[in-house]
Structure 1
Amino acid sequence: MRVLAMAERRLPALTRLRDREPLPIHLHRRRIYVLPSMFGIVFAILLAVMQLGALNFANNPALLLTCLLAAAAWMSLFAGFRTLADLQLEAISSTPCHVGEMAQVSFRFAVSARARPSLRMRCGGIDHPFAIAAGSAATVNMALASERRGWLRPGRLRLWTDQPLGLFVIWSWLNPDISILVFPAAESPVPPFPLNAQGQSERSSSGDGDEFSGLREYRSGDPQRRIAWKASARHESLLVRESERLFDDDLHFEHATLGGLDSEARIRRLTAWILAAEAARRSYTLELPDQRLGPGLGDLHRHACLRALALMPDAT
């Protein structure tokens, strides 16, 4: 830790990219690094041996060949450096996913005035190759594994190339300020919906109530106060006013009622109920210890409920 702290004080350029960066991210020359590759080191040793042999035997053609190869290697360094210089990451998009699924992330690089071939972006130990044609933009799609609910951060990304000759590795670090929301996994198979104890959404059914529904023929046992005398006189038969009985049809999912399950199991069951209610097109309410969502139905309501479950305590 002391060595790292000293490096941060003495050489801030080596550690400044540990912090998140807002978009857009511009790769200027001061944040691009170059080192010879293993092939480049072997090639340099070969050139040194060729030069010594040419000088020892006074072989001018061999000396000229050595100088030409060294010049080509040196120019390849600048060609690779120009591939990364002034590159700009302008936008990042992602879609939420559930635990166990692959989170899809898209990195969009701005339009480049010159071609940038053989670029690679490394995330999680996996390289994603891409290229940018002159006068066009490029999008790099990545799939990140999601193991826990909550916020998932890609972390630092290594953008690099070893072209055109593979003699040098030129790279830079990207640390975009982005987080991907990971929804909880759903319990499988989906348990039956809970019996409603309360709700807001109502639908009607024939029965005793206060809302007039229509007329029907008199049946034995109907109270006289419900007989429609004027309508009965017109139809020459007894007709009875039928009323609507309103009852609740809103699903109510409550975290506190799942007492026999641990915290994560409750969240998985609530997630399964939400997805099943959306598939059945039934309005639902989600009640958590600190908030109540709904009643509602649709993508916005589903996203709000799953987000609340994903960010409950113990989420990353």
Structure 2
Amino acid sequence: MSPSLRERLARRFALLARPRRPEPLPALLDRRRVYVLPTRFGLFFGALVLTMLIGALNYNNNPALLLALLLAAAGLASLIAAHLQLSGLRIDAIAAEPVAAGAPMLVHVALSSGDLRTRRGLQLACLQSATVVPAMGAEPVVAAITLATAQRGWLDLDRIRLSTTQPLGLARAWAWIWPESPLLVYPTPESNGPPLPEGGGQSQRTRLHAAGEDVHHLRAYRAGDPRRAIAWKPSARRDLLLVREYEQPLSIEVVLSWHDLAGLDHEQRIRRLARWVDLAERGDRRYRLLLPAHPPLGPDQGPAHRHLCLRALALMPHVQPH
């Protein structure tokens, strides 16, 4: 059987397993959600024990019969132990930092257990990605799995499989997680676009700042002022310790407007604006984003403002090509 055919069959059979629709978190893996089947090694082990049983009965060999029965009991116990590795686990949360479309997204899965049993050999798998979960006890753990991203907007998670072959590798126990919370994917910035547009913002302003460039005025010394800001000559004339208050210029605000890119198609506008948002952040510029049917964002700067702008661009409606 080819790997692609095996994967398609596995995905079809997975649709019959619990849960059958996305579910809110936290989610508890009870005994009805855990499935157990022998591995290839388990099937070989079972055939070997069956052969030993037939031979022991045929030759009336009591020690061989006892050994075969003990091995069979160990195999059955391993099925139960594999089931108990997953039963009672709880998936508390799934989260990921947004990335640009096309970049891999690192998804963090938080798991916990309500008992003191140590659980080892757990594995998380989703599509073509898999990762090993750290050994669990009473303390919760966080495992990370990498997912591929293709387009901007909300990424609906596929089923995530939690499985184990512990303790003997004779059986595989697995359960499915299907969280209903989507993850955000930013638009891909334009790779070789123009620089930031100049003008369109408010005129250049100034603010008082101890590390500015131009002297604004003198004021009385306050505790915590730097020594280099003390104006010694005016202080000596007035018999009062005075400090220079400086002026620091603020850069002109950048206006990133959707309507200024009328010559580009819908998706190219989004990619260029995403590029300009990143350029403004790297240049420490205050910027305002103007989008259709959306309140103006800014002027501001910083990680929170960048997230709001890229989120608004990511959730712009998709336009079908003609």
Which TM bucket (shorter chain)? 0.7 to 0.9
Structure 2 distance, partners of 1:282, 1:86, is 51
Structure 2 distance, partners of 1:39, 1:315, is 52
Please, which of 65, 68, 71 is the counterpart of residue 69 of structure 1?
71
1:127-151 per-residue CA deviation (whole Å, 9 max, x = no partner) reads 2112433332211011212111111
Letter of the 1:307 counterpart? R
Please, which of 52, 55, 60 is the counterpart of residue 54 of structure 2?
52
1:190-215 per-residue CA deviation (whole Å, 9 max, x = no partner) reads 41222434x346427xxxxxxxxx9x
Structure 2 distance, partners of 1:192, 1:127, is 40
Task: Give the CA deviation at 1:14.
Answer: 3.4
Letter of the 2:174 counterpart? W
Task: Give the CA deviation at 1:284.
Answer: 1.2
CA contact (8 A) 2:34 2:87 kept: yes
- Write the mapping of 1:190-209 to structure 2, written as runs, cut at 5 A: 190-197=193-200, 199-200=201-202, 202-203=204-205
Question: 3-state SS of the aligned residue for 1:116?
Answer: coil
1:305 equivalent in alignment to 2:318: no
CA contact (8 A) 2:251 2:286 kept: no
User: 1:80 aligns to what?
Assistant: 82
Task: Give the CA deviation at 1:67.
Answer: 0.4
CA contact (8 A) 1:190 1:276 kept: no
Normalising by structure 2, we get a TM-score of 0.76
CA contact (8 A) 1:37 1:168 kept: yes
Please, which of 11, 19, 22 is the counterpart of residue 20 of structure 1?
22
1:240-288 per-residue CA deviation (whole Å, 9 max, x = no partner) reads xxxxxxx992211111221222111111111111111111121111111
Q: Flag the 1:35–1:288 CA change in 2: closer, same or farther, 3 A.
A: same
The total of aligned residue pairs comes to: 262
- State the identity as a percent: 44
Question: 3-state SS of the aligned residue for 1:196?
Answer: coil
Task: Give the CA deviation at 1:109.
Answer: 0.9
Task: Give the CA deviation at 1:58.
Answer: 0.7
- Larger C-alpha radius of gyration, 1 or 2? 1
Normalising by structure 1, we get a TM-score of 0.77
Structure 2 distance, partners of 1:300, 1:107, is 24
User: 1:142 aligns to what?
Assistant: 145
Runs of 4+ in 1 over 6 A off after TM superposition: none
User: 2:239 aligns to what?
Assistant: none
CA contact (8 A) 2:99 2:185 kept: yes
Task: Give the CA deviation at 1:50.
Answer: 1.2
Unaligned runs of 5+ in 2: 1-14, 207-215, 217-249
Please, which of 131, 138, 145 is the counterpart of residue 128 of structure 1?
131
Letter of the 1:23 counterpart? L
Letter of the 2:298 counterpart? G
Task: Give the CA deviation at 1:309.
Answer: 0.4
Unaligned runs of 5+ in 1: 1-12, 205-213, 215-246
User: 1:184 aligns to what?
Assistant: 187
1:289 equivalent in alignment to 2:310: no
RMSD: 2.3
Question: 3-state SS of the aligned residue for 2:130?
Answer: strand
Judging by fraction of residues, say which structure has more strand: 1
